[in-house]
Structure 1
Amino acid sequence: MPDTINALVRDLSDDDRSVRQAAEDGLVALGMQAVDSLLPHVGVDGSSRLKWSAETVLQRLGDEALPRLREIRSHGPGRLRSNALKVLVDLGGAEYLDEGDRSAVERLVRVKLKNELPVRVPSEAGRWLAFPAERVDDAVAALGLHDLRPATTIMGVAAATQATDSLEFQSSQGKARTAYRVFITPAFETWLSEVPIQNWRMLWGNSFIDQLDGFTLADKLSERCGEAHFYVIDPYNSAENWYVAREGHRVRSFGSYDLPRFRGEPLPFEVEYREDADEDEAEEYAEGVPYALTAADMLSVEPGRMPASSTHGHGWLATTHPDVPNSRFKGALPI
């Protein structure tokens, strides 16, 4: 049997797609007997056909692989324990880790938090909410968040934008529900002296924002926090949005495809842009500022690399339902 498994693993890197597919199917049919032979290849740096195929087989095995992965974590062999940890969380979530592993991960997060500055929040694309940093408790209450856990920024952004960030489950009342995972960033200072709120946090969570509507969430946040913003950068559709809510109501917004594109009265920073515009910029800023990053920079804080001197505290991972803690979400996260 070992020779058969090793031959199938070698075929995972074959140039012929049909050979690779047959090897994947054969390894899946062998079940958890194949786990030990696949694990060494998921830890390879970079991207390779063998790495991708090995990970695909393990994903297809799913729950069937979990008992063997847990056994490796507990009893070895030692050379496979590190990769078994990653795959175990990828396939089952942190709830499948034993108490020792969970404690070790939590200790590592605490250590990384002490030395994570400066941090970087992605600015190339995405959608996020912003709210006054000192109102974080109000934001948690307004959005109904649970199981807040300290998280590094790289960990939190990955959890909310790349890994599994939504989960279908049965509630304690037997109803089909969806829980979401979100990331609340550290507090970031704004450099504008005329902005009354000097520290802001962002909230990232693609599925949460998409399904519950970022505009509605901004209104809800502003009811409890006084002010909240929603920003969208969508290069695929050449679209941008920015939205400012105060005391539960929109005061100003822009949307590339909205009709009209601007709603509400221009804010002071927009008036300055219009007044300072040269001849070439006059039409661009005639109605207001049509750029989400510019609005974020002038109203709260622009994503990107955040200087250590203007970053305070740490971020938090949270979920949207008390029955679904962070540990139930699948996917190993960078720390």
Structure 2
Amino acid sequence: MPDSINDLVRDLSADDRDVWEAAEDRLVACGAQVVESLLPHVEADGSPRLKWGAEAVLQRLGEDALPRLREIRRQGPGHLRSNALRVMIDLGGTAYLEEADRRAVERLVRIKLRDELPVRVPSEAGRWLAFPADRLEDAVAALALHDVRPATTVMGVAAATRSTDSVVFQDAQGKSRTAYRVFITPAFETWLSDLPIQNWRLLWGNSFIDELDGFSLADKLSERCGEAHCYVLDPYHSAENWYVAREGLRVRSFGSYDHPRFRGEPLPFEVEYKEDADEDEAEEYAEGVPYALTAADNLSVEPGRMPVSSTRGHGLLATTHPDVSHSRFKGALPI
């Protein structure tokens, strides 16, 4: 590889913005011959600036980089093969992979599913739906989900909350539409023995829940599944919401910025909190329970590290449109 290309790659980590921007432009102008020099630097370790610069150049090369990336996957060098796979998925999703690589990814997921327990579901922030675990088929039908396939929890959470979770596409009539990717967790058993529903699945999908209104989705789910919830934790805006629907209707909800904050009659667990409140807590629980995690803990399951003994089955990834499979979503996922 010419020394000038190696010099340009080093310049990607320069502190001077003009220097690294010029290096990016010149590397892009060099075309696919720079791919092999950039691939070692897309690992998480090392200089963040160099990593971002290498990824930026590869993104700008786009499909022009594909022939060389595929050649490296087939023929090596061996130490670059895994990075080449990751970059191809980042550029165009698994649609950019050759059949052998797609089968390899699917095989790795099946292997990981055998011993992925315990699993962890985010509890610091996010939005999720909850529905009875034994109504999985009804939930899939109610939300019109497609391309449902097994996924590890690490993979599913990343797909639905941190990676590309929506795709804009043209339908058969030429109309612009949006498809979403969602993750359905394994079934989790609640620790409360007096609840009528003992096992729950959670559905994560930030864009899906935000843009299609999680409360309306909970209503729709509850029409088919009997009961469904929506929970929102938004630390950035100091906001929390929880919402319970049964048989298609809201029965109780709380929202930090709703007016009024509580709607519907207090649920039994809220009455207990009010009755058990001491002097300092009396005002806090005067109207009900204003915390999404507390509501989840008493109504379904609280996200976080889920005990092995109460986890059943495996998670599932799904999309929301029959014309958009998972291969259309960009971004490499952890497995």
TM-score with structure 1 setting the length: 0.98
Distance 1:90 1:3 in 2: 28
Q: Which residue of 2 aligns with 1:114?
A: 114
Note the C-alpha offset of 1:78.
Answer: 2.2
Q: Which residue of 2 aligns with 1:204?
A: 204
Distance 1:55 1:187 in 2: 37
Q: Which residue of 1 aligns with 2:61?
A: 61
Give the 3-state SS of the residue equivalent to 1:251 in structure 2.
strand
Note the C-alpha offset of 1:63.
Answer: 2.4
8 Å contact 2:113–2:152 — kept in the other structure? yes
Note the C-alpha offset of 1:185.
Answer: 0.3
Which consecutive aligned stretches of 4+ in structure 1 deviate over 3 angstroms post-superposition? none
Distance 2:77 2:173 in 1: 43
8 Å contact 2:190–2:200 — kept in the other structure? yes
Q: Which residue of 1 aligns with 2:242?
A: 242
Q: Report the residue type matching 1:55 in the other structure.
A: E
The alignment's C-alpha RMSD in Å is: 1.1
8 Å contact 2:13–2:47 — kept in the other structure? no
* Count, aligned residues: 335
Note the C-alpha offset of 1:43.
Answer: 2.1
Q: Which residue of 2 aligns with 1:79?
A: 79
Q: Which residue of 1 aligns with 2:287?
A: 287
Gaps of 5+ in 1: none
8 Å contact 1:66–1:92 — kept in the other structure? no
Counterpart mapping for 1:178-257 below 5 A: 178-257=178-257
Q: Which residue of 2 aligns with 1:296?
A: 296
| Residue-by-residue CA offset, 1:32-69 (whole Å, 9 max, x unaligned) | 12111100111252652211211121122222222221
Give the 3-state SS of the residue equivalent to 1:250 in structure 2.
strand
Q: Report the residue type matching 1:317 in the other structure.
A: L
Deviates more, 1:259-268 or 1:54-63: 54-63
Compared with structure 1, are the counterparts of its residues 291 and 14 closer, same or farther at alpha carbon in structure 2 (3 Å cutoff)?
Answer: same
Q: Report the residue type matching 2:50 in the other structure.
A: L
> Does residue 262 of the first structure (1) align with residue 292 of the second (2)?
no
Give the 3-state SS of the residue equivalent to 1:161 in structure 2.
helix
Distance 2:78 2:87 in 1: 15
Counterpart mapping for 1:42-61 below 5 A: 42-45=42-45, 48-61=48-61
Give the 3-state SS of the residue equivalent to 2:8 in structure 1.
helix
Note the C-alpha offset of 1:106.
Answer: 0.9
Distance 1:303 1:2 in 2: 52
Q: Which residue of 2 aligns with 1:138?
A: 138
Give the 3-state SS of the residue equivalent to 1:130 in structure 2.
strand
Distance 1:170 1:291 in 2: 40
Note the C-alpha offset of 1:119.
Answer: 0.3
Distance 1:7 1:236 in 2: 41
> Does residue 324 of the first structure (1) align with residue 327 of the second (2)?
no
Distance 1:243 1:212 in 2: 15
Give the 3-state SS of the residue equivalent to 2:279 in structure 1.
coil
8 Å contact 2:150–2:315 — kept in the other structure? yes
8 Å contact 1:273–1:285 — kept in the other structure? yes
Q: Which residue of 2 aligns with 1:275?
A: 275
| Residue-by-residue CA offset, 1:103-145 (whole Å, 9 max, x unaligned) | 1111111111010000000000000000000001000000000
Distance 1:176 1:56 in 2: 27
8 Å contact 1:6–1:37 — kept in the other structure? yes
Compared with structure 1, are the counterparts of its residues 294 and 83 closer, same or farther at alpha carbon in structure 2 (3 Å cutoff)?
Answer: same
TM-score with structure 2 setting the length: 0.98
Deviates more, 1:94-103 or 1:83-92: 94-103
Q: Which residue of 2 aligns with 1:41?
A: 41
| Residue-by-residue CA offset, 1:178-204 (whole Å, 9 max, x unaligned) | 110000000000011111000000000
Distance 1:247 1:256 in 2: 25
Distance 1:192 1:231 in 2: 19
Distance 2:12 2:136 in 1: 49
| Residue-by-residue CA offset, 1:134-188 (whole Å, 9 max, x unaligned) | 0010000000000011000000000000000000111233221111000000000
Compared with structure 1, are the counterparts of its residues 44 and 229 closer, same or farther at alpha carbon in structure 2 (3 Å cutoff)?
Answer: closer
Give the 3-state SS of the residue equivalent to 1:93 in structure 2.
helix
